[in-house]
Structure 1
Amino acid sequence: MDKTLQTPHRLGVVDALRGFALLAIVLLHNLEHYNIYFIPESLPSWLQTIDQYVWDAMFFLLAGKAYATFSLLFGFSFYIQYHNAEKRGIDFRGRFAWRMVLLFLFAQLHALFYNGDILLLYSVVGFVLIPVCRLNDKTVFWIALILLLQPFEWGRMLYALFDSNYVINGTHFITYAESAIEATTHGTFLEVLRNNIWNGQLYSNFWQVENGRLFQTAALFMFGMLLGRRKYFIKSNRSTRAWKRILKMAILAFIPLNMLRFYVPVYISNPSILISYNVAIPSLANFTFMAILVSAFTLLWFNRGEGYKWQRTIIPYGRMSLTNYISQSIMGVCIYYGFGLGLYNSTGATATILIGLAIFMIQLTFSRYWLSKHKQGPLEYLWRQGTWIKL
């Protein structure tokens, strides 16, 4: 197993998982009109009904789960890089810190076009892996579990329970969101770029922090690192048994968490408690559903040996995840924003899903072509070369 991780050979199941996670992100971004969230009322009533079903189904299946899968695999990738460097006698921690600085620069490029960037959050939270990467598995697991449970939100709920004057404000992002939406719907291309430099990034990152992404992302990074350490993405009797346990536990946990998510809030009268509750419980519910999807996908891959054809098909897309993540946003904003085709005001959920699939097919075709001639995607190559630059 160690030899497998030391070679340039990539784990196909990981690239396939990353590809499907990115596909889900693309579909959700299109569904949201890249953060414009406009529902056209001029559509026929029958189409509006279909759109509502499509919207509900897509958000139930993918919202919060695609991002969580992407984050989990980020932590796994860190382990692979750290492990391979360690086998060569290199301390990867300094290089990884520099790698996060480079990711911050990629985030600035991406955020210029789209005000829903997650790379900046990754580049900041990624530093948490440096102090924990040499701790034992048990310690890392408990740190990750505590972070996953959203201790800050539970602390705020407890405080609000005993102090009726304590007010939690979970809407700091709205002021910046209003400015960002005005620019994206009616602004010119340059006005969108100028607005995104400040308001767009504050909108995105305030929203992520206020919705528990800070703690959850750190936890997912650590869990991904543990999956690498335990070699759970390498087929063996041990890893197969582990994924079956994860699947069973995730199903058992998701059912009550989902019930708590939908049925309890109506009985919470204190708005401050409600705000934190609606962060902590959905975060856990999304995590358990993500665990169901990832474990089921991995078990299917193991069952086939090297994955089913429909799983292997998307591998090139996952291998170029950074390039495809940034380029899909550029394509999407040109389709929906006011300076482009302005389709945000005429496309419902069904149409946006079809557009999202078209973007995916274009990118998948390009990924196959590019990787037939190169070992990495263009941005992946720049990131790697920058990581190992001689200082």
Structure 2
Amino acid sequence: MNPSVTQKERIVSLDIIRGLALFGILFINVGAYVVLIEGGPMPDMSGINGIIDSLIDIFIEKKFFSIFSFLFGVGFYIFASRAEARGDKPRKRFARRLLALLLIGIIHIFLFWGSILAIYAVIGFLLLPFYSVKISTISKWLFTIISLHILVILGQMYMPNNAVLSAIYGLLGNDAVAIFIMFLSGFLVAKAGWVGHISEHAQKIKRVLYSTCPFFIGFSLWIWFASQADDQQIQSIIGLGVVPTTYFYLSCLFLLLENKQIAKLLQPIGRVGQMAFTNYLAQSFIGTAIISLMGLQVVSPSEIVIIASITFIIQIIFSVIWFKFFSIGPFEKLWRFMTYGKKTVTKQS
């Protein structure tokens, strides 16, 4: 086996998954591009719109941000291990990378209030202590954090609230903990060598797939019935299902992308993922422009599907054309400069 070829294929797979994650994120963010005002017009949630909204809750809500978070954790290990191999200081270099992300993220918040970049940067610092930790120790930490997160969400749903419990719920039951869980999951998988050698770990990945599939089906049905009943706890139900559903999605995707024909077919989506930083920043501008051109005051679920699809098609076309002339996205180039303090070559060789 040629290691360099395998590594290249794995990067392509990660880019495709990252591109798909960006597409899923659009279905959540598009609705937030228009700020709803109390007493103003509200999106239509009747008929087909109600069904689409429920399907978004089942298949997309919090799941694709979680996939994106998982890939961030994978990227941390790849970045830090390569830095160490070059004789660099991995933690120090990644800390500088996070500070650059934080600065860009803060600026982006002024342009789109729902930006996740600054939060990613802050939570990313929690990964630094795990870089040299044993895989078995990371696994124990991950299991413990997941267990606590699930117990706290269940507590939010079924236990009476008081001052002490509210503090615990606020600390361990929020989306930031879910993001860190996926950061650490991605880091663990990369450190264990799964990402670079999917075929060698196929049986383990299949076990993850089979064990999470019943949870995926169960939570999908639970969310559907909760949405139809206007259950006030639907966000908690979605939160409970995030980890197993994300693991299920990732297992499916990693195994599916071992098929070279499928990977080749999805390569244009991989181009979007290859410049995910640029495309994430661009989504808010493209989506807002489309909403403005359509003259929409509010965005219904069916309109979200249309706008998200148009935005992603634009990004596929732009990304494919961009990489015919350059080897790195514009904001990826900026981020690299802020990380290393030196110019990078962007022309294709």
CA distance in 2, matches of 1:389, 1:23: 31
Whether the 8 Å CA contact 1:148–1:284 is kept in 2: the answer is: no
Deviation at 1:109, TM superposition (A): 2.2
- Identify the match of residue 300 of structure 1 among 249, 256, 259: 256
For 1:172-251, what aligned pairs fall within 5 Å after superposition?
Answer: 212-251=174-213
Structure 1, residues 271-294: CA drift from partner, whole Å, max 9, x if none? xxx98x964x53231221111111
SS in 2 for 1:244: helix
The answer for the alignment partner of 2:305 in structure 1 is 353
Work out the CA distance in 1 between the residues paired with 2:262 and 2:193.
17
Deviation at 1:49, TM superposition (A): 1.0
Q: 1:285 aligns with which of 210, 223, 241?
A: 241
Q: Is the 8 A contact 1:247 1:295 kept in 2?
A: yes
Q: Which structure 2 residue ranges, 5 or more long, are not aligned?
A: 227-231, 343-349
Deviation at 1:154, TM superposition (A): 2.7
Distance 1:298 1:10 in 2: 9
Q: Partners of 1:383 and 1:57 in 2: how far apart?
A: 35
Alignment of 1:21-100 (within 5 A): 21-34=21-34, 36=36, 39-41=42-44, 48-100=46-98
**Match of residue 278 from structure 2:** 323
Q: Which residue of 2 aligns with 1:253?
A: 215
TM-score normalized by the length of structure 1: 0.74
Alpha-carbon offset, residue 32 of structure 1:
4.6
Instruction: Look up the equivalent residue of 1:344 and give its one-letter code.
Output: Q
- 1:167: how far off? 7.1
TM-score by length of 2: 0.82
Q: Structure 2 CA distance, aligned partners of 1:136 and 1:2?
A: 28
With over 3 angstroms needed to count, the CA separation of the structure-2 counterparts of 1:86 and 1:113, relative to structure 1, is same
Contact between 2:98 and 2:122, CA under 8 Å: does it hold in 1? yes
Q: Is the 8 A contact 1:22 1:325 kept in 2?
A: yes
Distance 1:101 1:328 in 2: 22
> Structure 1, residues 39-58: CA drift from partner, whole Å, max 9, x if none?
445xxxxx941111112112
1:308 is displaced (CA, Å) by 3.7
CA contact (8 A) 1:144 1:220 kept: no
Equivalent position of 1:344 in the other structure: 297
Cα deviation 1:93-124 (Å, max 9, x = unaligned): 00111111100111122111111111111100
Alignment: residue pair count: 334
Residues 355/162 of structure 1: CA separation in 2 closer, same or farther (3 Å cut)? closer
Higher mean C-alpha displacement, 357-366 vs 255-264: 255-264
- 1:135-174 matches, within 5 Å, as 135-151=133-149, 154=152, 157=155, 168=166
Cα deviations across residues 288-331 of structure 1 (Å, max 9, x unaligned)?
Answer: 111111111111111x1364444222011001111111111122
Q: After superposition, where does 1:270-281 map in structure 2 within 5 Å?
A: 279=236
Alpha-carbon spacing, 1:40–1:129, altered in 2? closer, same or farther (3 Å): closer
State how far apart, in whole Å, the 2-side matches of 1:327 and 1:360 are: 10
- Please list the CA deviations of residues 128-170 of structure 1 after superposition, one character each: whole Å capped at 9, or x if unmatched: 1111111000111121222223449639949x95886767389
Distance verdict in 2 for CA 1:80–1:40, change over 3 Å:
closer
| Structure 1 unpaired stretches of 5+ | 42-46, 172-205, 265-273
Q: Which amino acid aligns with 2:315?
A: Q
Structure 1 residues 344 and 127: CA distance shift in structure 2, 3 A = same
Question: 8 Å contact 1:19–1:315 — kept in the other structure?
Answer: yes
For 1:148 and 1:244, locate their aligned partners in 2 and report how far apart those are by CA, in whole Å.
21
**Deviating more after overlay: 130-139 vs 49-58:** 49-58
CA distance in 2, matches of 1:7, 1:285: 32
Q: Distance in 2 between matches of 1:15 and 1:332?
A: 22
Q: How many percent identity over aligned positions?
A: 25
Q: 1:31 to 1:309 in 2, by over 3 A?
A: farther
User: How far apart are residue 64 of structure 1 and its match?
Assistant: 0.8
Instruction: Determine helix, strand or coil for the equivalent of 1:168.
Output: helix
8 A Cα contact 1:6 1:84, kept in partner? no
* Residues 54, 152 of structure 1: alpha-carbon distance in 2 compared, 3 angstrom cutoff: closer
* One-letter amino acid of the structure 1 residue matched with residue 336 of structure 2: R
**Equivalent in the alignment of 1:370:** 322
**Which amino acid is the alignment partner of residue 195 of structure 2?**
F
> What does residue 99 of structure 2 align with?
101
When residues 250 and 6 of structure 1 are mapped into structure 2, their CA distance, relative to the original with a 3 A threshold, is closer
Offset of residue 361 of structure 1: 1.2
Q: 1: distance between equivalents of 2:50 and 2:102?
A: 36
User: What CA distance in whole angstroms lies between the structure 2 residues aligned with 1:245 and 1:323?
Assistant: 35
Give the Cα separation in 1 of the matches to 2:300 and 2:153. Answer: 40
Contact 2:57 2:223 in 1 (8 A): no
